[in-house]
Chain A
């Protein structure tokens, strides 16, 4: 558990913020940035993403309507025979079906057939409704934090003991709907990350390179001397929002900060990833090209706890305040 997210004074503040009839989302963002107590996460995430309305009188009605809308979409797009799909749609469904069993394979829960089916429905429905990008590999990873958070409203204990077959189909479809809408909200802010040639990611990788150059010139120079391109390791970081690089049990904590950033997230990712990379500043400078690539593709984070992750986030916050408001600071 993150020490800060469960400390009783903080829980009290969250309770207070969430109990009002009209929630002030900006205040919730400030609190959520440093971590949300796990049992409040489903409510807080729905609010931060603008899926649940801040007005408590309207909340239940809106969620009910959105969940029905998702069911309609599934019926209309997913639950149809292949003969009613275009070739492109069949290919997309095939690609999704290939990837679902390969999603977080190291966590046994995701190997349950019903979990993979849910994932497939969410992804295919999302892809059909977002034709500008369609499904792109890695988006399957992005559903998983939502899935575990919204499942935690129904299943107790650790994810290792969860069985999705304990849930009614009505509950499963509500959970899927929440995942679908939250994924949609999250990705609406980064549409060009997944369109043709992925210009959004290319742009952020370039910014990351520039930021690292300003913060840590020796690392930057060493990486360049070795002929390593940032795209060769940081592409996956942006494409999967770092899910692949840290232990799965820390991902929801990382996402508290992501979702608290809201519209500012894409630019803030650059700071988080620079901070993440420079965790190993000294090590990196000792490695040659081959060792660098191997190291960056298998970063030693297996034993990470909330502490290491929060260090990355705090440093990102600090650099963001230093550099973002004065773009030419340290430029010379």
Chain B
């Protein structure tokens, strides 16, 4: 029997309608790009299995609808999230301006234990469009915004050309994993053991788990 534990991480993807949330997810999971997507209603769901530092991880990614009207659904989808991915289109200023709203609305509805340290990641998508000539949000502007929000990691991506998509999601998984560990520690009061290394923690966690059985 394998003692390896598969960690489930719940990731929420948010951002204005048409910025490419579904495309990014499908490029990442299915390595495909098509112009044929339907507008997402409610939320779509995909999973991806990967390894982070020898640990088996499954990302459960909820790709949400971009229209504000659906924000009230958030509670059903955001709860228990380990990481929130914000997406905007570098060619559409409004999608960048909406980021504050998405950030705030997520924290309100997901209600994480520590809103200040809850992991977010920002993706500026569609950098391929017209060779960058239609771009209206500069990298600096985006990075300044990230700095103002507890230093959110930032990636510039193209779902169409598969630029930076893997790197971005890898970072998402790592960040979510780090957050999950920290949450577990706090929950079980093992914050000191954490310093002795990861293996130690695993054993403790396992024994806790088996007691439940």
Residues of A at the B interface (CB closer than 8 Å) are: 91, 95, 98-99, 101-106, 136-138, 140-141, 194, 196-198, 229, 231-233, 235-236, 239-240, 244, 290, 293-294, 297
Contacts and interface: CB of A to CB of B under 8 A. Distances in A.
B18 interface: yes
A140 B39 contact: yes
Contacts, number: 71
B17 A137 contact: yes
A290 B47 contact: yes
A102 B41 contact: no
Interface residues of B, number: 26
Interface stretch (B62-70, B144-152, B158-166): B62-70
B73 A231 contact: yes
Contact of A239 (B17, B41, B44, B76): B41
B45 A293 contact: yes
A137 B41 CA distance: 7
10 contacts: A95-B67, A98-B39, A102-B37, A137-B65, A198-B73, A233-B42, A236-B41, A239-B42, A290-B58, A294-B45
Contact of B72 (A103, A140, A198, A290): A198
Contacts of A106: 36
A197 B72 contact: yes
Nearest to B22: A102
Interface in B109-141: none
Contacts of B67: 95, 136-137
A296 to B, nearest CB: 9
Contacts of A95: 17, 67
B39 A102 contact: yes
A297 B77 contact: no
A198 B69 contact: yes
